Amino acid sequence: MTGTCAVPECQRPRDTRGWCSRHYRRWQRWGDPLGGRHPRTGCTVPECPKPHKAFGWCMTHYERWRRHGDPSSIPSLDVDETAVERAVRGERAGALTRAELKLAVARLYEAGLSDPQIGARTGLTAAGARAVRLRLGLPSKWIRAGRPGVAA
């Protein structure tokens, strides 16, 4: 095609649909040859002051939607003692809630288990068990002897 782009004040050569390649790509991506990325606003959940991250929600509401199917769902703080006791015994049956997981990690720590052992009983990795333990403020009981700079 000959001529210039149909967008006023654009002197680039015409390519597709009467626009230059830049304006055509903007139209393909954003639906408007003059437009660009839509400005992000705050979270669309009422009374949430956090900034937008994905699908119009803040990260908290996006994660709630991703995990529970509803951005306004509130995580359960109820603890099923039977589920915690099963995890402590190593008889895991299903996923634990965050509150149950914290309680199980604390009990297994008090029983003297290491992070990899706690992880195996709760369905976490050793690093995941360590992260939960540290969030609970529980120090490591295990010191590696024989390493330079580490007291035995």
Confidence (pLDDT) at 108: 92
Confidence (pLDDT) at 66: 82
The band of 152, judged by pLDDT with boundaries at 50, 70 and 90, is very low
* Average pLDDT over every residue of 15-20: 88
Record the pTM.
Answer: 0.47
Percent of the chain with pLDDT over 70: 86
Q: Please check whether residue 31 is in contact with residue 23, taking contact to mean a CB–CB distance below 8 angstroms.
A: no
Task: Return all residues near 43 (Cβ < 8 A) that are at least 6 apart.
Answer: 49, 50, 51, 52, 56, 57, 58, 61
**Hey, where are the domains in the chain?**
1-37, 39-75, 81-135
| pLDDT tens digits, one per residue of 54-111 | 888 898 888 888 877 888 877 666 788 888 888 888 886 677 888 888 999 999 999 9
How many CB atoms are closer than 10 A to CB 5? 20
In the chain, DSSP finds a helix count (H) and a strand count (E) of 6, 0
